[in-house]
Structure 1
Amino acid sequence: MAGCKTGVGEDASAPLLQGYTCCNLHAENDWISDSNYLTLPMIPAGSPIRVTGYGSNRASVDIGGKPYRLGHDYGRAQESLQQWVGKIVVPADPKLRIAKYPANIRDAIRAGKLVTGMSREQVVQAVGYPLTSENPSFEAPTWRMWVSSFGEYQLNWTASGRLKEIVAADPTTLNLVEFKRH
């Protein structure tokens, strides 16, 4: 509710950022969790976003004229709500960078999927940031990611920071993550 205090953890001094979504985000109704499960409906990278307020482990935002809540569900011990929101709301429209990528990478990002050879930045644009609760280092050689609360996959990186391999325990999860031209 506009103008109302939203509860414990509210930080009135936090900046009300505005810009673009860093990456493809996934929403369950109006809730966008830091888990960013790929099986939920997608909001494309580069969508206009404006923070309208902060509450307890959440930020109220407007994305393309629709209200949402960014929920900091898992990474609270590793980064503050404001740090996480600062990664989600970026000042430069990522669609401009995405448009300059090779066609297979550009198409994969737009589909919310991955192809080997992507950089970490490109992977984030496609599927969002890895959970900081499970991935304490952005530069780690392996990231643990999820398509749903039960569908884990792992991303293995080369020493130069390129996606080397997508590993999933089952083919259904792999099909949800890996981009293939039709």
Structure 2
Amino acid sequence: MAIRTTAAALLVAALPLAATAQSLPDPGYLCCNMRTSGNWISDINYASSGTRVIPAGTPVTPTGFGRYRVHVTIEGTPQDIGNDYSRELDMGVFARRYVVPDNPAAAIAKMPRKVRQAIQSARVMPGMTREQVLMAVGYPITSENPNLNARVWRYWLSRTQEFQVVFDARNRVGEVIADPQTRALAVMN
């Protein structure tokens, strides 16, 4: 009886992993500008020293899941997209946020020049749509932004540099709240 109970417990414990593993997205494109520190891309997307931006629309091939991470290959290099601050999300849902089937670069190419420049420089600007903000600076972390329909999205450039994107009634950026130093790095005027 103990052996059956243990086997049943192991099967039940493995079910969430199996469901997550089955939800690995197909090869696609990076949803948004994300910063890597070599082989690690954190969902908080800090702009710290030694990181480089991988542009929205870069081809991505998911290869598996690890503990709170999606293993991918980008530009021939293994990377992990770390779910450091959005752990409320199922890993399949998390993976699909970052690996999208349609190339954002095609949409970006059709945007006004100033918006394209903001996205390419990983900055936000007044008048951007929610989708354009996501392409420029990634998803806001769910631990602080559980509702993507909220009026304010809270972002971090570093542990001490916060900026808040405030959307107006038309769901466009009405203002960005930040200290002057952070504003200079995160906002295009």
User: Aligned letter for 2:56?
Assistant: A
Partner of 1:133: 143
CA distance in 2, matches of 1:135, 1:14: 23
CA distance in 2, matches of 1:128, 1:25: 7
Render the CA deviation track for 1:13-50: whole Å, top value 9, x for unaligned. Answer: 33252100000011122111111113431000000000
Partner of 1:111: 121
CA distance in 2, matches of 1:96, 1:157: 24
Say which is worse superposed, 138-147 or 33-42, in terms of deviation. Answer: 33-42
Aligned match of 1:33 in 42, 48, 56? 42
Moved over 3 A (4+): 8-12
Partner of 2:100: 90
Identity level (%) = 42
User: Aligned letter for 1:22?
Assistant: C
Aligned match of 2:90 in 72, 75, 80? 80
- Look up the SS of the partner of 1:92 in the other structure: coil
Aligned 8 A contact 1:118 1:162 in 2 = yes
Structure 1 residues without counterparts, runs of 5 or longer? 1-7
Alignment map for 1:1-182 (pairs within 5 Å): 11-39=20-48, 40-77=51-88, 79-168=89-178, 170-180=179-189
Q: Which is higher, the Rg of structure 1 or of structure 2?
A: 2
Q: How many residues align?
A: 171
CA distance in 1, matches of 2:118, 2:76: 26
Alignment TM-score, normalising by the size of structure 1 = 0.89
Render the CA deviation track for 1:60-104: whole Å, top value 9, x for unaligned. Answer: 100111110011011112x11111110100111111100000110
CA distance in 1, matches of 2:47, 2:188: 13
- Look up the SS of the partner of 1:85 in the other structure: helix
CA RMSD of aligned residues (A): 1.5
CA distance in 2, matches of 1:57, 1:15: 13
Alignment TM-score, normalising by the size of structure 2 = 0.86
User: Aligned letter for 1:162?
Assistant: R
Deviation, 1:59, is 1.2
CA distance in 1, matches of 2:102, 2:23: 20
CA distance in 2, matches of 1:14, 1:138: 22
